[in-house]
Amino acid sequence: MARKPRIHVPGGFYHVMLRGNGGQDIFFDDDDRHHLYLLMQEGTEKFGHRIHAFCCMSNHLHLAIQVADTPLSRIMQNLAFRYTRWINNNQSRTGHLFQGRYKAVLVDADSYMLELVRYIHLNPVRAGLVSDPSEYPWSSHRAYLGLETLPWLQADWVLSQFAKRLETCRKRYAAFVQDAIAEGHRQEFHQGGGDDSRILGDDSYVNQVLGKHSRSNSHTTLEAIIHHVTAAMGVEPETLSTPGRNRGAAQARAMTGYLARQLDAASLTEVAAWFGRDVSTLSRQVGRIEKLASSSPEMQEDLKKQIDAITQA
């Protein structure tokens, strides 16, 4: 059965889980965790999303992320790629660090966000590593309590749900966490709450999300992107899959990969497989587009126009 496409909801809150390949560790020392912090900070600056909570375990990572316009898939691909490169360089290893696709559940923040943050922060307690979450140094819980400072962490929204004064917020938040200290595994935070494993919310929330997702993604397919790119660049579609070196075809494949990732239509691995090309080569070519766009407002505007043309076709 084909996997359902990712759901992109601007402003949406997601519980994201990223696990080591085959259950292997993803952190080997404190420098690794600090480097991940740096990458998460750079990601928020680049893509405009907010990280409301996190917990770094030995072989997996939990995040509570609120996205902006950039799809979650783009955010996580960037984070996973850059962190894997760091680990592979430091550990003199090659290959995948993480287990396939990350897991993400879109959460109705009004109903579940406070419980989700608590659930993430209690992960080390459930694992038997500590008896109190404040004893664990590699989650955002201590920052919520004011015991450390993480400028890129957005704790204000959750804390504001408890009171108006910050000191009172923190006391009530701490009591809220302690109330669930013995809480076990909650499947809904991993598999959604109903028929659709991508979403956790009541029926009205699920129907609202799926309705918007269907309308916004009805034409955003890889085929539609290829049709747009080849027409715009004057390249015959069949040349993109033809063996041999063709500069125009290579540029069209790179643009297809970039737009597919921006529109959450396909991963670079899927685009490379579609054209019968090496994913690492395609990734480098897409990276060049991103680098050029980061320093060129004109190119950014052109790329935005292309995205608008595809989604409105």
pLDDT in tens, 247-286: 888 999 999 999 888 887 777 877 887 888 878 888 889 9
| Spatial CA neighbour of 41 closest among 140, 178, 109, 123 | 140
User: pLDDT at residue 216 above 70?
Assistant: no
Q: For residue 2, what pLDDT band results from cuts at 50, 70 and 90?
A: very low
For residues 263 and 53, the model is more confident at: 53
| Spatial CA neighbour of 82 closest among 38, 137, 113 | 38
Q: For residue 298, what pLDDT band results from cuts at 50, 70 and 90?
A: confident
Give percent of the chain above pLDDT 90. Answer: 45
Which residues are CB-neighbours of 186 under 8 A, at least 6 positions away? 119
Burial code (b: 16+ CB inside 10 Å, e: under 16) for 55-65 equals: bbbeebbbbbb
| Spatial CA neighbour of 34 closest among 67, 83, 96 | 83
For residues 122 and 241, the model is more confident at: 122
Give percent of the chain above pLDDT 70. Answer: 93
Class of 219-311 in CATH: mainly alpha
Q: What is the 8-class DSSP label of residue 163?
A: -
Q: Give the Cα separation of 23 and 58 in Å (integer).
A: 10
Q: Give the model's pLDDT for residue 214.
A: 52
E-strand stretches of the chain: 13-19, 50-56, 60-66, 103-107, 199-200
φ and ψ of 105, to 5 deg = -125, 125
CB 66 within 8 A of CB 50: yes
Taken as a whole, the chain contains a residue count of 313
Type of residue found at 274: W
What are the structural domain ranges in the chain?
Answer: 13-216, 219-311
For residues 294 and 15, the model is more confident at: 15
Q: Choose the most confident range, by mean pLDDT, from 136-140, 230-234, 236-240, 290-294.
A: 136-140
User: pLDDT at residue 197 above 90?
Assistant: no
φ and ψ of 245, to 5 deg = -100, 125
Q: Cβ of 160: how many Cβ atoms within 10 Å? A: 11
Q: Give the Cα separation of 294 and 288 in Å (integer).
A: 10
Q: What is the CA radius of gyration of the chain?
A: 21
* CATH number given to 13-216: 3.30.70.1290
CB 141 within 8 A of CB 133: yes
Answer whether 0.85 is exceeded by the pTM: no
Q: Give the model's pLDDT for residue 313.
A: 63
Burial code (b: 16+ CB inside 10 Å, e: under 16) for 103-120 equals: bbbbbbbeebbbbbbbbb
Q: What is the 8-class DSSP label of residue 312?
A: T
Q: Give the Cα separation of 106 and 91 in Å (integer).
A: 34
Q: Give the Cα separation of 113 and 106 in Å (integer).
A: 10
Q: Give the model's pLDDT for residue 1.
A: 39
Q: What is the pLDDT of residues 74-133, one digit of tens each?
A: 899 889 989 999 999 998 988 889 987 789 999 988 889 999 999 999 999 999 999 999
Burial code (b: 16+ CB inside 10 Å, e: under 16) for 251-260 equals: bbbbbbbbbb
Q: Do domains 13-216 and 219-311 have the same CATH topology?
A: no
